[in-house]
Structure 1
Amino acid sequence: MKKIFLAIGALVTAVIAIGIVFSNMILYIKKKTDEDIIKRETDNGHDVFESFEQMEKNAFVIPSAYGYDIKGYHVAPHDTPNTIIICHGVTMNVLNSLKYMHLFLDLGWNVLIYDHRRHGQSGGKTTSYGFYEKDDLNKVVSWLKNKTNHRGLIGIHGESMGAVTALLYAGAHCSDGADFYIADCPFACFDEQLAYRLRAEYRLPSWPLLPIADFFLKLRGGYRAHEVSPLAVIDQIEKPVLFIHSKDDDYIPVSSTERLYEKKRGPKALYIAENGEHAMSYTKNRDTYRKTVQEFLNNMNDSTE
């Protein structure tokens, strides 16, 4: 009997250890420093940081529904209420959004950039890969609508986790959200993405690790992996979506975007970039990326005239 209790105790201890370790990796994923991001972006030819320091911009603070502050910048040099909100990826912050900011500024749009929860200057203790971030995005959109007196178009551009956040937000606000969305390299389902990364990075099976981690994720983070699923809400999104992905992305497979595009009803467009790894479609295909985005924006403008 003593051996049975010892075995049960060892099993419970192992389950708790696995749950804590893997949920820690998810909830408290290591973030890149400002220096890391600046070096990465500069090495990739995005020399945008000095100009950002010098340009006129309005810093803002928006209270999240979850008790922390969302911080960012509204950059509005153009005489237009049309604005793009940029959502960065996991481990990043607004510094990673600057290359996209310049792209949209060059195309005549004003821009809003901000830090997601637990990233950059914003508050929040955990990362939720879009689950809570979508509600923060709702606060940002509401703030911007009030700022522009509910005039003009609002588009949302998201990269990786930011794209997931944008799609989850769009699914929850299908009729009263933004006017269009650009989703660059999102995953389709978080549980599938976790299983994929377990195999790719650690050569580990998803069972029983993911069910254990998922239980602790709910216990500690308040959500389950399957609840973070753009694929589950994509057919509810009425507004136009431009999907973007690099065909050689080995972090989030291009099949994720292809599945989302396939299931999306109504207005949509798809651009599969020939070059680049994960979240590098713009960096490695600047001319075609810009042309694709410009055509999509022109269609948005034309549809409102």
Structure 2
Amino acid sequence: MKKWGLAIAGILTYMIGIGVYFSNRLMYMKKKEDDFIQNREVLAKRLIQADFDNLPKTEVWVPSPSGYPLKCLFIEPHQTNKWIIVTHGVTENKMNSIKYMNIFLKRGFNAIIYDHRRHGESGGETSSYGHYEKFDLKAVIDELKKRKGTDLFLGIHGESMGAVTLLLYAGMLEDGADFYIADCPFSNFEKQIQHQISMMDIPLPAWTVFPLGRMFIKIRDGYWTNEVSPIHFIKNIKKPILFIHSEPDTFIPASMTLELYEAKQGPKELYLAKKGAHAQSYNENSQEYEERIDQFLEQVLLK
């Protein structure tokens, strides 16, 4: 009996260890340092610091429904009701959103860039890959409408986790924008996790990692990983979506964007960039990227 007890204790310890290890990898994915992001964007000339500093902007702290503050910048160089909200990817911050913001500022939009939970200057302890982030996005939109009124022409641009966030917002909460641009989202979180497990150097059998990991995410962070899958809700989005992905992306395969594009009903467009790793479509194809946005906006504005 003592041997059986030791064996059972050993198995339980092993299972708990796997669950904690896996859930930690997701909930607390190592972020890039804020200074690193800013310096990277400056060196690449995607951020001209003097130009950014001279933009008329308002710092706004938006309360998240999950109980922490979200650091937002409302950037308003134009007298217009046209607004774009930019949502960044995991490990990044609002400085990474400036290059996308600039695309729309040049086209007469005002903009909001902000830090997701656990990133930049915002509060929050974990990353949830769109699950809690979609409620935060709604809070930012509600704040914009409270300040500027509801007569807005609103777009949302998101990269990676930010793209998933806007799709979940539109598909699960409210289809509240006039258009969406989803750059390199995953279609199904559980498939994405399994894809990443296959690429990770994890000293554990893959078949044990995922079931235990998803259970520990539920226990520790309050949601099931299968809830974070835009493919399940894409049919609810009636407004136009421009889907973007780099064909060489190995982190989130371009096939996931194709799956979302095929499932989307109603107005939609697709741009597959020939060059670029994950979240590099604009960096590697900036002129073509902007041209495809112009084509998309023209179609949206004609409707």
Bucket of the pairwise TM-score, normalised by the shorter protein: over 0.9
RMSD: 1.3
Distance 1:205 1:245, change over 3 A: farther
Q: Helix, strand or coil: the match of 1:61? A: strand
Deviation at 1:21, TM superposition (A): 1.2
Which amino acid is 1:112 matched to? I
C-alpha offsets along residues 65-110 of structure 1, whole Å, 9 cap, x if unaligned? 1111111101111121110000000011101001111111011111
Matched AA of 1:195 = Q
Instruction: Output the amino acid matched with 2:28.
Output: Y
Q: State the partner residue of 1:219.
A: 219
Q: Does 1:277 align with 2:277?
A: yes
- CA displacement at 1:53 relative to structure 2: 2.3
- 1:1-305 to 2 correspondence within 5 Å? 1-175=1-175, 177-202=176-201, 206-303=206-303
Select between 141-150 and 84-93 the one with higher mean Cα deviation: 141-150
In 2, the alpha carbon distance for the partners of 1:59 and 1:297 equals 28
Q: Distance in 1 between matches of 2:148 and 2:205?
A: 50
Q: Which stretches in structure 2 are left out of the alignment for 5+ residues?
A: none
Per-residue displacement from partner, 1:181-204 (whole Å, max 9, x unpaired)? 000000011111111011112266
Aligned-partner SS, 1:202: coil
Matched letter for residue 126 of structure 1: T
Q: Quick one: distance in 1 between partners of 2:86 and 2:292?
A: 17
The answer on whether the counterparts of 1:171 and 1:237 sit within 8 Å (CA) in structure 2 is yes
Structure-2 change in CA distance of 1:95 and 1:259 (3 Å): same
Assess if the C-alpha contact under 8 Å between 1:174 and 1:239 holds in 2. no
Q: In 2, distance between residues paired with 1:42 and 1:255?
A: 32
- How many Å apart are 1:30 and its aligned residue? 1.0
**TM-score w.r.t. structure 2 length?**
0.96
User: Do the aligned residues in 1 keep the contact of 2:47 with 2:98 (CA within 8 Å)?
Assistant: no
Which amino acid letter does the alignment assign opposite residue 215 of structure 2? F
Paired amino acid for 1:30: K
Task: Decide whether the 8 Å contact of 1:164 with 1:183 is kept in 2.
Answer: yes
1:155 partner amino acid: G
CA distance in 2, matches of 1:36, 1:190: 28
- What is the CA distance between 1:206 and its match in structure 2? 3.8
Cα distance in 2 for partners of 1:92, 1:284 equals 18
Shift of 1:174: 4.3
Q: TM-score, normalised by structure 1?
A: 0.96
Show structure 1 runs of 5+ residues with no match.
none
Higher mean C-alpha displacement, 27-36 vs 274-283: 27-36
User: What percentage of aligned pairs have identical amino acids?
Assistant: 48
Following TM superposition, by how much is the alpha carbon of 1:276 offset from its aligned partner in structure 2, in angstroms?
0.6
Contact 1:48 1:98 (C-alpha < 8 Å) held by counterparts: no
